[in-house]
Every structure is written in C-alpha cells, then in structure tokens.
Amino acid sequence: MSRLKLIEGLFRDAVGVAALTLLLGAPAHAAAAAEPAAAPKSPPAIVTQVCAGCHGLDGNSTAPANPKLAGQSQQYLLRQLLSFRVKDGGGAADRQSQLMAGFAMMLTPEMMSEVTAYYASQKLQPAAAKNKDLAILGQKIYRAGIAAKNIPACSGCHGPSGAGIPVQYPRLGGQFGEYVAAQLVAFRQGTRNNSAQMSAIAARMSDAEISAIADYIAGLR
C-alpha cells in the first residue's frame, strides 16, 4: 500500500473518530493527560506511516504550509496536539484544522508522548528569509516591538535567536515564514485560540508587519 493511500485511509478513520466523539463525547483516553517521555531511538510507527507525509521523517517538512517540528519543545508539541482536539461536549477546538483534528482525536496519550518526544529530539534544518527589506523590518519588530501599537518585542518570550523557552514559549527560529505568517493571521482572525497573549498581539499587527516578522523568523538562527 502506498503512503498516500495509507494516509488517506487513516484520515478517513480519524475523521470517523472525530465525528463519533461529537455524538458520544470525548474518547476515554482523551481525559488522560499526555506526559513528556524519553525520545524513541527510531521513528514510531505513527510517524513513519502518517506524520512523515506532511512533516518529514525527521520533522523537517519541505512544504511551507506544514511546520517544521524538529527541535521543537516536546511540551509545546503536546499542547498543540491537544489544541486540535474537539472539546468535551462537542465544543470547537482551539486550533482549527480538519486534518489535524482527525489525527489528534485518534492518538492515545502514549502515542502523543512518543511522537512529540521523537520530533523534539531531531535536528532542525532551518528555512531562510526571502526578502532582505522585509527581514530588516522584521528584525526591528522582533527585537524591539512596535511601541506605538503596544506590540512587545518577540525576543522577550522567544529569545534573541528564536530558540524559545521550553514549556512556555515555542522555538521560532528557522521556521517557514509562510507558516509563521499563516499562524499570526489565524490568531488575528480567531481561528486559533490557544494563546490569549498571541491573539491580542496579532490583532494589532498589519499584513505588512506580519509578513516582515515572518520572513525574519525564517532566517533567524
């Protein structure tokens, strides 16, 4: 069976699980919290069979629409998987993605821990900035914020090099600029609601400012 057909089959099953959850409530394993775990020595089966199709076997996606997961904080990755789940009682997930919602609903806490530990242990192959002028503006915003708009410096939470603060704030440096921009827009539009702080910041950013900070982050090391 080809990887594409396997992914399609698993997605159909996952969507079925999500739909059933809406009718019957959250699956039993959803109530149990996924805990950080030691990184597996080899890719877990769910990674090779499903996750690698979008995020790469080593967590270095080649498609800008799909985030690079390599080297990201495991605790952050765990929180994001949980954010894609439909809430108890059928409430909307904090991160809206039909594809990721289906997968997140079918993962047990143990599988979540295994997948996130594996990707967190991989080495990031960083993206690159594409527009010099945008990156220069983005650098100013990243380092100093925009006082007139009450937008704080990104480096205050994500670090000067974009390494982030594990558990609290994600690694940003080297992430696809297109993905970063899409997430800032999602925060601004309210389709991503798992950080009140980021929603408030993004709401004050223009399209040009979002593009600038995203391009700078892609080249940040």
Per residue in 94-135, pLDDT (tens digit) is: 999 989 999 999 999 999 999 999 999 999 999 999 999 999
The tally of domains found in the chain comes to: 2
Distances, alpha carbon 203 to alpha carbons 65, 164, 194, in Å: 22, 22, 14
144 in the same domain as 113? no
Where do runs of H (alpha helix) occur along 145-206? 155-158, 177-189, 196-202
153 in the same domain as 115? no
Structural domain range at position 180: 132-219
Structure token pair of residue 221: 């090391």
Burial of residue 66, with CB atoms counted within 10 A of its CB: 0-12 exposed, 13-18 middle, 19 or more buried: middle
Out of 68, 98, 120, a domain closes at 120
Out of 93, 120, 147, a domain closes at 120
- pLDDT value for 1: 47
Structure token pair of residue 43: 């890719």
Per residue in 55-74, pLDDT (tens digit) is: 999 999 999 999 999 999 99
Share above pLDDT 90 across residues of the chain, in percent, rounded to a whole number: 76
Angstrom distance (rounded) from CA 89 to CA 21: 9
Out of 120, 150, 172, a domain closes at 120
CB 173 within 8 A of CB 214: no
Q: Average pLDDT, whole number, for the chain?
A: 87
Structure token pair of residue 116: 């996130």
- pLDDT value for 33: 58
Per residue in 174-192, pLDDT (tens digit) is: 999 999 999 999 999 999 9
178 in the same domain as 113? no
Q: Is the predicted pLDDT of residue 13 greater than 60, yes or no?
A: no
Rg of the chain taking only CA atoms, in angstroms: 18
Q: Is the predicted pLDDT of residue 3 greater than 70, yes or no?
A: no
For the domain that residue 115 is a member of, what is the CATH number?
1.10.760.10
Stretch 80-98: mean pLDDT, rounded?
Answer: 90
116 in the same domain as 10? yes
